[in-house]
Amino acid sequence: MSGGVAAGKKVTVAAVQFACTDVEAENVAAAERLIREAHKKGANIVLIQELFEGHYFCQAQRLDFFQRAKPYKGNPTIIRLQKLAKELEVVIPVSFFEEANNAHYNSVAIIDADGTDLGLYRKSHIPDGPGYQEKFYFNPGDTGFKAFKTKYATVGVGICWDQWFPECARAMVLQGAEILFYPTAIGSEPQDNNLDSREHWKRVMQGHAGANLVPLVASNRIGRETVETEHGKSTITFYGNSFIAGPTGEIVKLANDKDEEVLVAEFDLEEIKSTRHGWGIFRDRRPDLYKVLLTLDGEKS
């Protein structure tokens, strides 16, 4: 490699984490307070955790929880955060439970720094299993993986379980995403007290950052939440550990598993782009050999 590395497109990203109550107004107020704090620390793009308006209701399969879903257009939380984005000139991906006629999605609206709503991404990979029974509520997202051009950077946003799939990260970066964001809700596993996925969770996403040579921001809630289910009570302790990784997968900022936190890191996207091009992974890809990725069972047709 020869020649200088370009520099000059500095962007500051933030991840916030907090414990949710089950009162929507309290959680939206907490999100606003932490976004303001992130802005004071210089953030241009602020990530809030997944489904932050309430407790993580997917611990239970309850019909009454469908009432928490709201249509995308006219959603009061999105409108409030659009006003905040405009006031502070920050970009805010807003995670919410979306009702679309008879369909329901785990969605995120990308709000640009002038308050414009740039569009929607609907979570593609929907988990199921003890404590995380999302298939009961959410249709698999139909938007496909996207990259959104914001004032400060082109961003890709995957939602929680999407973070375990390298295809999702790659698809977003292929479309021009310069930074990846993952709002999340993950913690203990009600069926197995000895299972703690936090290190695995971080390493997988660090891999996406390193494999695509882009910074990556993950926000996860903290707190112990007990939900009344159809079989009695279920409890998850969410492990926080929100983090910001740099373009070789290195963790540059990391929160703990108990405290409300605002993490901030600055990146030079021009410099990173230059390094990405120099390293050659997007030159040397072989999409002609990847058709097997379009199958479920590995059989080539």
Helix (H, G, I), strand (E, B) or coil at 103: strand
**Residue 50 known to be catalytic:** yes
Q: How far apart are CB 123 and ligand PUT at their closest, in Å?
A: 10
What is d(CA 264, CA 183) in angstroms, rounded to the nearest whole number?
15
- Residues 145-184 touching ligand PUT, rule: CB under 6 A, are 160-161
Coil vs helix vs strand at 130? coil
Q: Is 168 one of the annotated active-site residues of the chain?
A: no
271 annotated active-site: no
Q: Is 129 in the site for ligand PUT (CB under 6 A)?
A: yes
Q: Residue 132 interacts with ligand PUT (CB under 6 A)?
A: yes
CB-count exposure of residue 291 (10 Å: 0-12, 13-18, 19+):
exposed
Where does residue 190 rank: exposed (0-12), middle (13-18), buried (19+ CB within 10 A)?
middle
Nearer of residues 97 and 161 to ligand PUT, judged by Cβ? 161
| Spatial separation of the C-alpha atoms in residues 13 and 215, rounded to whole Å | 9
Q: What angle do CA 2, 5, 9 make, to 5 degrees?
A: 165
> Nearest approach, Cβ of 261 to ligand PUT (angstroms)?
20
Instruction: Tell me the CB-side half-sphere exposure of residue 163, using CA atoms within 13 A.
Output: 27
Q: Which of 32, 53, 58, 123 is catalytic?
A: 123
Residue nearest to ligand PUT (CB): 132
Measured from the CB atom, is 22 or 189 closer to ligand PUT?
189
Judged by DSSP in three states, 33 sits in helix
Q: Is 186 in the site for ligand PUT (CB under 6 A)?
A: yes
- Site for ligand PUT contains 201 (CB under 6 A): no
Catalytic residue among 160, 168, 178, 253: 160
Q: Does 185 bind ligand PUT (CB under 6 A)?
A: yes
Q: Which residues bind ligand PUT (CB under 6 A)?
A: 127, 129, 132, 160-161, 185-186, 189
Residues forming the active site: 50, 123, 160
